Amino acid sequence: MRKSVRIIGMVSLVLVGLLCTQFAWLTPAQTVTDNQRFSQKVNLALRRTVHHLLLKSGDSTSRIQPIQQPNAQIFQVRIERSFDYGQLPVLLQESFNVHGIKANYDVAVLDCAQGELLLGYTFQDLIDKKEVPCKGRQQAPGCYILQVTFAAPETASPSH
């Protein structure tokens, strides 16, 4: 009886050990959270948008600046030259569609020097009215920050 208890105990330890090692190679560095995946998709979508804005303004060689993320909801990219603001809403929405981003957002075009809001719109303007405020306004040559703010980070919906 004692021998069988020892054997069961040893087998249990071995099984627990195997179970632990089964998941040990899934380190946090290798797993990507929903928020990280969302951030990566937004990063790619903004880079795509800036690429097309620059192309449409005749610039095919300027470097696209890294996307900054001051917090979970805000993404910013610096654009070192003026661009056609009228094309931004469609290009940005196309990029979000390409990357499967469905969250509501606000867009702000800020002055690089002062961080002052120059132009902007909300996703609802584009969806409801099929147009955005400030379209057609002249932009002075200069440096701009394109900022997109999401209502909340996109997460996977819980399954029931």
Three-state SS letters, 39-92: HHHHHHHHHHHHHHHHHHCCCCCCCCCCCECCCCCEEEEEECCCCCHHHHHHHH
Write the pLDDT tens digit of every residue in 75-99. Answer: 999 999 988 888 999 999 999 999 9
Share of the chain above pLDDT 70, in %: 72
Higher pLDDT, 159 or 89: 89
Distance between CA atoms of residues 44 and 39, nearest Å: 9
Element (H, E) at 12: helix 2-24
In a domain, 20, yes or no: no
In a domain, 2, yes or no: no
In a domain, 39, yes or no: yes
Q: Quick one: average pLDDT of 18-28?
A: 45
In a domain, 96, yes or no: yes
In a domain, 54, yes or no: yes
Residue 33 has a pLDDT of 87
Share of the chain above pLDDT 90, in %: 52
In a domain, 41, yes or no: yes
Least confident of 13-17, 47-51, 58-62, 132-136: 13-17
In a domain, 156, yes or no: no
What is the count of structural domains for the chain? 1
pTM of the model: 0.73
Q: Quick one: average pLDDT of 26-40?
A: 73
The domain containing residue 67 runs over which residues?
A: 34-150
In a domain, 141, yes or no: yes
